[in-house]
Structure 1
Amino acid sequence: MSTGTFTSTDPTDPTDPTNTTDSPEPAHPAADASFLATPRGRLTLVLLCAVAFLDFVDASIVNIALPSIQRDLGLSNQGLQWVPSGYLITYGGLMLLGGRAADLIGRRRVLIAGTVVFAVASLIGGLAQSSAVLIGARLAQGVGASMMLPAALSILTTSFGAGPDRNKALAAWAGTGAFASAVGVFLGGVLTEGPGWRWVMFVNLPVCALVLPAIPRLLPDDRHRVSTRGFDFLGTVLATGGLVLLVHGLVQAPDQGWGSSRTIVELGVAGGLLLAFVANEAVGRNPLMPLAIFRVKGLAAANVTQLVAMSGFIGMFFFLTLYTQEVLGYSEIKAGSAFLPVTVGVGIAAGLAQPLLARVGTRPLIVVGALIASLGIGLLSRIPVHGSYLTDLLPGLVVMSFGLGFVFVGVATAANAGVPADQAGLAAALMNTAQQLGGAFGLAILSAVATSETGRRLAGGDAAADAYTEGFRKALLVGAFLLAGAAAVALFVANTRGEEARRP
């Protein structure tokens, strides 16, 4: 089976939009046809990238709005952390389930359902008059995103033919993800200082309003007939419970203490559930995560690379946001604007990555990208108390942004290459679960490093600004080492150029 997006009433005409015939997979154009060269193909890519933008931007857009949210709703510091963390917990914890559901019951159906959940949760969050409602809305947003993202990425990888089409599509997808992570901070600042923090939630609604009617018009109906008797309910419970507990434990560990009984029990139970999940998948007849997927060359290494790299990237955004506001005294808009050069660098890097993939393959691209990013974050780890944006922040951000673009594109291509079409949703879920776990792991580790160093400095009599800056510096330095570690792991990634044909 070749790749594409359409099932037509005329099997020789893959562009007939009138047909809605159900099939296990969308019918695909001829191997020598370029779906991306058609208007429908380009619109499909725009639609899928819009979904990616929504999900990635919501992981960062609320960060700058947190002080305003705290003042308005009267949250404690402990309660406030649930606003960003609630999204990450359900987003990362349910991603595997969302991806496998897309494979089994239809990617378009899961994408529509997830977008509806995401939109309703955004509306409720924007209207929230209490902290409990807002946190509940953020948890629900994560549920919707965990359905949307793997469904959208698996549609992309099964819609665009192997080779230049898929490389360009994955470069656009990865560039969108990196762009959204950076621009979210800027948008959060603009909206918070402008119409108010509630618009960091309301801003999702017009995008969802455009995405929802476009999904059935552009994407084929790929419903599958599946019996619930064949669904891996035990595996679902074990995986979901284990991942939710793991992400929650990592997010809460810096506040609860790594040595606290609650943290130890939570992470221990999470580890036990995940081990039981792997054992269940090895013997189950219809596993949620067929372990055979890890026979795809380099897939495991690509996902580990993603996890390690994101632990450094996410931490960098978090600590520089704190540094610009708490130490340099930037307003929300100014702090958000500081990251705009990152979006430019990521866009340029994503554009350069596509032809580089065709020439050198994914492995050199990821290794070099991770090393460039490590250098950029290393430069940022030298931030002073009385810092200058032009000399102390901009050079490191620009260098880091190029590395970020290369890593995103290379990992997205490597983690999906050679995966059978009927497991594309699972592959997408694994990659994005690695990203969310990496973010949670990185924030937990780097927060512990920063807090320890700041506490030591304060105890020694340092001024608050000096103590905080030293904590941020040490955390950023550890982040740079994590990116260097990601480069080492990437040496085991399959060096694909995206040319592998998908197998039914």
Structure 2
Amino acid sequence: MVILDGTIVSVALPSIQHGLGFSPSSLAWVVNAYLVPFGGLLLLAGRLGDLVGRKRVFIAGLGVFTAASLLCGVSQDPATLLASRFVQGIGGAVTSAVTLGMVVTLFPQPRERARAIGVYSFVQSAGGSLGLLVGGALTQTIGWHWIFFVNVPIGAVAVLAAWRVLAPEQGVGLGRGTDVLGALLVTSALMLGVYTIVETADRGWASAHTLSRGAVALALLLAFVVRQAKASHPLLPLRVFRSRDVAGAMGIQALMVAGMFSFQFLCVLYLQKVLHFDEMRTGLGIFPVSVAIGALSLALSPRLIARFGSRAVLLPGLALIAAGLAALGRVPVGGSYAVDVLPALLPLGVGFGLAMPALATLAMSAATPQDSGITSGMVNTMQQIGSAFGLAVLSTLANARTDALLGGGTSPAPALTDGYRLAFRIGACLVAVSLLLAATLLRSPVPARRPRTVGEVSAAENAAR
């Protein structure tokens, strides 16, 4: 529900603009008002989960998210909706930050953990794709308000289920890690950084606005790192990054997500603006990706990771994603969905279904019960930074290419298609770089085989005799 809410709004933006009177320049903030606090608070929320208990933080975040969804649905003016979306982003960050940490803590055995992370990865990645389908269906049938109202009963049931099902946790205590200065530095750095990135669509990458705020965000982030190296109870213990696999997986994940965003955002625009799909057909057109992700994440990936190791599963996954994006980089103006789009979407879904569980497993491989929340928050933060950066860079390049062609007299459809093709190819290059890094940096060993039981040993001896 939380991940889905980042994309479900996209297809409803025209209806929201018409219903509430948003100006074209302010309409993007219906999405950005959610993304900025979401990306900025993940680390702090993850550490709070370690300190006061992940169950408490999870339920509190769900409650805030659900209440804010109700406020979004009843909004009658732009200011109320934007404020409610900001609060919704806070609730989403608090909830998401501790989820992967809870999964790792609840399933300590490697095989069980691989299966649980497979389910987690499927829910997370499928949520983004399903948002397009659900958003289109709700907007076209009963109105844009219901893209928010639908969260209320789901959130209420989730809160009750979490309260009854999840075991209580005490956490390590606020006295073990209350780094107030570190929390202020990293939250300010991340929120300012995400804000700067999402504003590049209007301001440009070389503008004084972008360069000055980007420099401040980097300075705050550097100050945070220095603070963590000296603090007696750091918010983010730097020992988390001592593992080569953990640090590498997080960087690889950011690059992969940045490249993959050329599909999640620009493929939708290609289907709608060039092939003239409506919202429902667009959602159905993207749906095969969710099916492929589900089939791999739930059934095959956990077994492959348990058998061959995360690195061995990650490499072909990244190769398939790069191949799918490269195929999208060749879509024609008068293309056919069945011939030109679907053959590219299937390797994307399969590759993502292989890569996401493997990366999550690697990123959480060195997490202790005391640090699983902050590590989970870091994993989600890298995803958000990658998606924000990917959207800003790839959409800027696509728009610049399209504008240049339109200025030269090219008709709209070919100009749009050429811009999308460029972005798809750049996305493929980003994923190819992540593949190169994975092949050279990661050294994840093959998991040890499960010891045989007495019965299995006896059976083997009888077979030998």
Local SS of the residue matching 2:3: helix
User: 1:490 corresponds to which residue?
Assistant: 438
User: 1:176 corresponds to which residue?
Assistant: 123
Residues 1:82 and 2:62 aligned together: no
- Alpha-carbon distance between aligned partners in 2 of 1:272 and 1:365, rounded to the nearest angstrom: 37
Corresponding residue pairs, total? 447
CA RMSD of aligned residues (A): 1.5
User: 2:19 corresponds to which residue?
Assistant: 72
Aligned with 1:298 (options 245, 249, 272): 245
- Alpha-carbon distance between aligned partners in 1 of 2:322 and 2:177, rounded to the nearest angstrom: 45
| Deviations 1:326-363 (CA, angstroms, capped at 9, x unpaired) | 22221111111111111111112212111111222111
Aligned AA for 2:16?
A: I
Q: Is the 8 A contact 1:450 1:475 kept in 2?
A: yes
- Alpha-carbon distance between aligned partners in 1 of 2:229 and 2:311, rounded to the nearest angstrom: 30
Greater shift after overlay, 473-482 or 272-281?
Answer: 473-482
User: 2:278 corresponds to which residue?
Assistant: 331
User: 2:405 corresponds to which residue?
Assistant: 457
Percent identity, please: 37
How far did 1:497 drift? 5.5
Task: Within 5 Å, give how 1:210-359 maps onto structure 2.
Answer: 210-224=157-171, 226-227=173-174, 231-350=178-297, 351-359=299-307
Task: Within 5 Å, give how 1:390-429 maps onto structure 2.
Answer: 390-429=338-377
Q: Is the 8 A contact 2:228 2:235 kept in 1?
A: yes
Q: Is the 8 A contact 1:253 1:444 kept in 2?
A: yes
Aligned with 1:379 (options 309, 320, 327): 327
User: 2:107 corresponds to which residue?
Assistant: 160
User: 2:456 corresponds to which residue?
Assistant: none
How far did 1:150 drift? 2.0
Aligned AA for 1:300?
A: A
Local SS of the residue matching 2:7: coil
Report the CA distance shift for 1:117/1:496 in structure 2 as closer, same or farther (over 3 A). Answer: farther
Task: Within 5 Å, give how 1:45-64 maps onto structure 2.
Answer: 54-64=1-11
Residues 1:131 and 2:85 aligned together: no
Local SS of the residue matching 2:232: coil
- Alpha-carbon distance between aligned partners in 2 of 1:310 and 1:423, rounded to the nearest angstrom: 24
Gaps of 5+ in 2: 450-465
Report the CA distance shift for 1:234/1:448 in structure 2 as closer, same or farther (over 3 A). Answer: same
- What TM-score results when the alignment is normalised by the length of structure 2? 0.93
Aligned AA for 2:410?
A: D
Aligned with 1:100 (options 47, 53, 59): 47
Local SS of the residue matching 2:330: coil
Aligned AA for 1:178?
A: S
- Alpha-carbon distance between aligned partners in 2 of 1:247 and 1:372, rounded to the nearest angstrom: 29
Aligned AA for 1:493?
A: L
Q: Is the 8 A contact 2:240 2:366 kept in 1?
A: no
- Alpha-carbon distance between aligned partners in 2 of 1:266 and 1:342, rounded to the nearest angstrom: 36
User: 1:116 corresponds to which residue?
Assistant: 63
Q: Is the 8 A contact 1:163 1:497 kept in 2?
A: no
Q: Is the 8 A contact 1:315 1:439 kept in 2?
A: no
User: 1:40 corresponds to which residue?
Assistant: none
Task: Within 5 Å, give how 1:27-42 maps onto structure 2.
Answer: none
| Deviations 1:10-45 (CA, angstroms, capped at 9, x unpaired) | xxxxxxxxxxxxxxxxxxxxxxxxxxxxxxxxxxxx
How far did 1:374 drift? 0.7
- What TM-score results when the alignment is normalised by the length of structure 1? 0.86
| Deviations 1:394-430 (CA, angstroms, capped at 9, x unpaired) | 1111111101111111111111112111000011011
- Alpha-carbon distance between aligned partners in 1 of 2:250 and 2:273, rounded to the nearest angstrom: 34
Q: Is the 8 A contact 1:417 1:498 kept in 2?
A: no
How far did 1:223 drift? 2.2
Q: Is the 8 A contact 1:327 1:469 kept in 2?
A: yes
Q: Is the 8 A contact 1:59 1:84 kept in 2?
A: yes
Local SS of the residue matching 1:161: coil
Report the CA distance shift for 1:225/1:302 in structure 2 as closer, same or farther (over 3 A). Answer: closer
User: 1:202 corresponds to which residue?
Assistant: 149
User: 2:135 corresponds to which residue?
Assistant: 188
User: 1:20 corresponds to which residue?
Assistant: none
- Alpha-carbon distance between aligned partners in 1 of 2:142 and 2:443, rounded to the nearest angstrom: 47
How far did 1:229 drift? 8.8
User: 1:362 corresponds to which residue?
Assistant: 310
User: 2:455 corresponds to which residue?
Assistant: none
Q: Is the 8 A contact 1:178 1:346 kept in 2?
A: yes
Report the CA distance shift for 1:152/1:470 in structure 2 as closer, same or farther (over 3 A). Answer: same
Higher helix share: 2
How far did 1:480 drift? 1.0
How far did 1:315 drift? 2.5
- Alpha-carbon distance between aligned partners in 2 of 1:160 and 1:497, rounded to the nearest angstrom: 19
Aligned AA for 2:314?
A: I
Q: Is the 8 A contact 1:296 1:419 kept in 2?
A: no
| Deviations 1:121-149 (CA, angstroms, capped at 9, x unpaired) | 11011111111111112211111111111
- Runs of 4+ in structure 1 deviating by more than 2 angstroms, as ranges, are 223-230, 496-500
